[in-house]
Amino acid sequence: MKIAIIDYETGNLKSVSKALELASNNVLKKSNIEIINSTKDLNNFDKVVLPGQGSFKQCFQSLNSIHEILDGLSDFVMVRKKPILGICVGMQLFSSYGDEDGGSEGLGWIEGKVKKINLKDKSLKLPHMGWNNIQITPNSKLLNGIDNDSHFYFVHSFAFDVNEKMHVSATTNYSIEIVSAIEKDNIFGTQFHPEKSQANGIKILENFVRI
Which positions are catalytic? 88, 193, 195
Note the Cα 28 to chain centre separation in Å.
Answer: 22
The count of C-alpha atoms lying within 13 angstroms of the C-alpha of 15, restricted to the half-sphere facing its C-beta, is 14
CB-CB contact of 61 with 103 (8 Å): no
- Euclidean distance between CA atoms 17 and 7, whole angstroms: 11
The three-state secondary structure class of 176 is strand
Helix or strand or coil: residue 134? coil
Contact 178, 158 (CB under 8 A): no
What's the rounded Cα separation, in Å, for the pair 99 and 84? 23
Q: Spell out a b/e string for 134-150, using b for 16 or more CB atoms within 10 Å of the CB, else e.
A: bebbeebebbeebeeeb
